[in-house]
Structure 1
Amino acid sequence: MVQQVTKGIKISVETHFEGMFYKEYRIQFAFGYKIIIENQSNDAVQLESRFWEIKDALNETQTVCGEGVIGKQPVLQPGEIHSYQSGCVLTGPFGAMKGHYNMLNFSNSKTFIVNIPSFKLCAPYALN
């Protein structure tokens, strides 16, 4: 598990390999990840949007951005935790992801960025 704290918001990430499949005559590698967002600050915050940078084994980069996470824009009071699971598909057996969340602090009405630490995606057999 990788973790990072930015401005009192702790992000923890766990990953797992889900398997391979063929799509349009190409092998694809599916990965899942679980994100835990913990508000360790003294202020209520809301996750407004996300930005992801996804790199595959060939160092090709894909970016993904949008509102919220899995259709939600959670509000976290001090001490609260929000977790969700999602996934991605790569064209190779390993890659990496990193990104950030745009958050709103309700105490001062300012937005701020919370970094999502870089984490690896790796099929178990590709480690050797």
Structure 2
Amino acid sequence: MNIPHDPPHDVAVDVRTQYLAEQSDPLHGRYVFAYTVTITNHGATPARLVARHWIITDAEDNTQEVRGLGVIGQHPHLEPGESFTYTSGTVLDTPTGFMHGSYQMVSDDGAEFDAPIPPFHLAAPHSLH
């Protein structure tokens, strides 16, 4: 009989977005968005987030890449079943766009792996039909 087991490295990323009208200035092409990210370790091994890689694309297909260490000045260490949530933001020149990327992780067993950040939309109210 096979007993199912968790893979050693399985980190899920969930993102929720919010348009920040009070910080935006549509007349001057400034659209500000907040995004709240929840990173959950579904794997069998604890892991630490060491770096991030974002690809941000606006409605005119202008792309910006952002790389950096940690998130919001932290390098969260996630035990199996544990989550970490943080909020950050970005500014676009257009009322819509999307983001995706990955977190570079190192597990306690020394393995390095990427946790993909699935694409998500950024949209000011009334900007989508």
Question: TM-score, structure 1 length as denominator?
Answer: 0.89
Q: What's the secondary structure of 1:58's corresponding residue?
A: coil
Work out the CA distance in 1 between the residues paired with 2:29 and 2:55. Answer: 21
Work out the CA distance in 1 between the residues paired with 2:29 and 2:12. Answer: 35
Work out the CA distance in 1 between the residues paired with 2:76 and 2:68. Answer: 14
Deviations 1:28-70 (A, max 9, x none): 0001110000111110100000000000011000000000001
- Find the partner of 2:25 among 21, 30, 40: 21
Work out the CA distance in 2 between the residues paired with 1:106 and 1:78. Answer: 11
| Over 3 Å off, 4+ runs | none
Higher strand share goes to which structure?
Answer: 1
Matches within 5 A, 1:112-123: 112-123=113-124
Runs of 5+ consecutive residues of structure 2 not aligned to the other structure: 1-8
Determine the structure 1 residue equivalent to 2:93: 91
Look at both structures and tell me which one has the larger radius of gyration over its CA atoms: 2
Determine the structure 2 residue equivalent to 1:63: 65
Determine the structure 1 residue equivalent to 2:104: 102
- Find the partner of 2:52 among 46, 50, 53: 50
Q: Give, as a single letter, the amino acid of the residue that structure 2 aligns with 1:120.
A: H
How big is the alpha-carbon RMSD for the aligned residues of Structure 1 and Structure 2? Answer: 1.3
Determine the structure 2 residue equivalent to 1:36: 38
Runs of 5+ consecutive residues of structure 1 not aligned to the other structure: 1-6
Work out the CA distance in 2 between the residues paired with 1:93 and 1:59. Answer: 12
Question: TM-score, structure 2 length as denominator?
Answer: 0.88
Work out the CA distance in 2 between the residues paired with 1:81 and 1:21. Answer: 34
Contact 2:10 2:115 in 1 (8 A): no
Figure out how many residues of one structure are paired with residues of the other and give that number: 119
Identity %: 37
Work out the CA distance in 2 between the residues paired with 1:127 and 1:81. Answer: 32
